[in-house]
Amino acid sequence: MTSKLLHLAKDACVGCFGCFSSCPFDAVEMRLDDYGFYYPYFDSSKCKNCGKCENYCPVLNYEYSNWVEPEVFAARSNDFELLMKGSSGGIFGEIALSVLQAGGVVYGAGWDDNFQLRHVSVDCPDKLEKLFGSKYVQSYTGKVYSEIITLAKKGRFVLFCGTPCQVAALKIAINKMKDVRQNIILCDLICQGVGSSAVFRKYLDHHKKKFCGDITSISFRSKKHGWMDFSMEICFSNHEKYICSRKFDPYLVGYSNALYLRPSCYDCPFSKIPRQGDITLGDFWRSPKEVYNHWGTSLVVINNQWGKKVFDRVCKERKIEVKAYLLDAALQSNKRLSCGKLSIPDNRADFFSDLKCQTFDRIIEGYLKRNISVDYLKHKVNQYVLWGLSSSRLRRFFLK
């Protein structure tokens, strides 16, 4: 291990697995720390000081080669099933299906049997659903970067979708190889940051105990009440179901308030323009009326000529509604597209300290209830305005 990586501040490490994937001597191990984030641990007895771990680290080897003025589109799948399964406009599903139909392979984040998030490969449409939907927790990528390069060398078409830091790590590995770039599509997500797996595990255990059943499925972005008011939805083995609006679900409230993000996510070096992927996908939150849809509209950012070629082909092959916009519209829609800075909550350190010794109920009471209560009040007032309740009925309404 070289001195640069040894002295890289822990808060600067993005947990991309670039060093782990590149080491030919298995001298790097990725472990979860007490806060629920992956960090590399180096075995000096196995290390040969080859320097690969340093050379494959995207934090130490910044690369911003994409367009400074990317092309921007609002897009939505006309396949209603794909639209409903996706977090926004179903465009990831459309790109992925296009790759699979061409005989390619798709890599994305999916749950394993224990609901640990891992990057996995899919080579047929029937298995693609496991990669759909946002997951607000850090994924274990393992050795997938090496797998992708091996497939590309054999002539397979590969789509990789991940966070900007993960795409940055894979891009470094690709750039060190010859004749593989034309077989790989890089798709980065507009990312708020990765949530703590320790918090998420405690959250899941809380619900398993409350509903007296094992978890069978999880959706962070259920569209039961539409795209804008998405819900957390958890299904259990006893056929019970938990559905809660993003405004009131404790995990989503804490995540949206940046309470338990990875330290590097508060100053992300990759959430900026030029972006890392050939194509960037996210939500077109403030989409104009002509493209707004109750079930979701995607923001698609084309960052280079390869991304443009891929997206043009997908638009011709698939059932997609597309409308071009200026970059300013995208920046107003989703600030994380170009700004990686977030304020660190003052109570973040206290939160993680209490997380170790308190139940999730106590955590909610101490740290999340106020934010939930404020959102609940706003929600009730909005309903009052919409329904035109009298003052006496309003008092009864709030006392429910």
**What CATH number should be reported for the domain holding residue 8?**
3.30.70
Which pLDDT band holds residue 63 (cuts at 50, 70, 90)? Answer: confident
pLDDT tens digits for range 205-261? 999 999 999 999 999 999 999 999 999 999 999 999 999 999 999 999 999 999 999
pLDDT above 80 for 306: yes
Share of the chain above pLDDT 70, in %: 91
Which pLDDT band holds residue 1 (cuts at 50, 70, 90)? Answer: low
373 vs 335: which has the higher pLDDT: 335
Alpha helices, DSSP H, located in the chain: 3-6, 18-22, 52-55, 80-85, 91-101, 144-153, 164-175, 197-211, 250-256, 305-317, 327-333, 348-355, 360-363, 369-387, 391-398
Q: Report yes or no on 214 lying in a domain.
A: yes
Which pLDDT band holds residue 62 (cuts at 50, 70, 90)? Answer: confident
The answer to whether 333 and 301 have CB atoms below 8 angstroms apart is no
Report pLDDT for 394: 43
In a 10 Å sphere around its CB, with 0-12 CB exposed, 13-18 middle and 19+ buried, how is residue 80 labelled?
A: exposed
The pTM is what? 0.91
pLDDT tens digits for range 127-161? 999 999 999 999 999 999 999 999 999 999 999 99
Count CB atoms within 10 A of the CB of residue 196. 28
Q: Which of 86, 88, 94, 91 is nearest to 285 (CA)?
A: 88
Q: Report yes or no on 147 lying in a domain.
A: no
Report pLDDT for 389: 45
pLDDT above 80 for 358: yes
CA distance 160 to 183: 11
Q: Report yes or no on 78 lying in a domain.
A: no
pLDDT above 90 for 372: no
Q: Report yes or no on 232 lying in a domain.
A: yes
Last residue of a domain, one of 17, 33, 55: 55
pLDDT tens digits for range 379-388? 444 444 434 4
Report pLDDT for 319: 83
Beta strands 298-302 and 279-283 are antiparallel
The answer to whether 301 and 72 have CB atoms below 8 angstroms apart is yes
Share of the chain above pLDDT 90, in %: 82
Report pLDDT for 400: 44
pLDDT above 80 for 392: no
Last residue of a domain, one of 12, 37, 55: 55
Q: How far is CA 63 from each of CA 265, 272, 331, rounded to the nearest angstrom?
A: 18, 12, 21
Q: Report yes or no on 283 lying in a domain.
A: no
Structural domains of the chain, count: 2
Which pLDDT band holds residue 178 (cuts at 50, 70, 90)? Answer: confident
Contacting residues for 7 by C-beta, under 8 A, at least 6 apart: none
Report pLDDT for 396: 47
Q: What's the average model confidence in pLDDT over 363-372?
A: 76
pLDDT above 90 for 373: no
Report pLDDT for 381: 41
Name residue 69's amino acid: E
Q: How far is CA 197 from each of CA 34, 135, 168, 260, 277, rounded to the nearest angstrom?
A: 10, 11, 22, 9, 25
Average pLDDT score over the chain: 91
Q: Which of 317, 332, 329, 303 is nearest to 77 (CA)?
A: 317
Q: What's the average model confidence in pLDDT over 27-43?
A: 95
Report pLDDT for 375: 52
Report pLDDT for 313: 96
CA distance 253 to 92: 25
Q: Report yes or no on 102 lying in a domain.
A: no
CA distance 19 to 40: 8
Report pLDDT for 374: 52
Beta strands 117-122 and 105-111 are antiparallel
CA distance 367 to 220: 20
Q: Report yes or no on 225 lying in a domain.
A: yes
Count CB atoms within 10 A of the CB of residue 149. 20
Q: Report yes or no on 65 lying in a domain.
A: no
Count CB atoms within 10 A of the CB of residue 4. 15
The answer to whether 264 and 12 have CB atoms below 8 angstroms apart is yes
Report pLDDT for 265: 98
- Residue 18 is part of which domain span? 3-55
Which pLDDT band holds residue 364 (cuts at 50, 70, 90)? Answer: confident
Beta strands 71-77 and 298-302 are antiparallel
pLDDT above 90 for 362: no
Report pLDDT for 367: 85
Report pLDDT for 105: 99
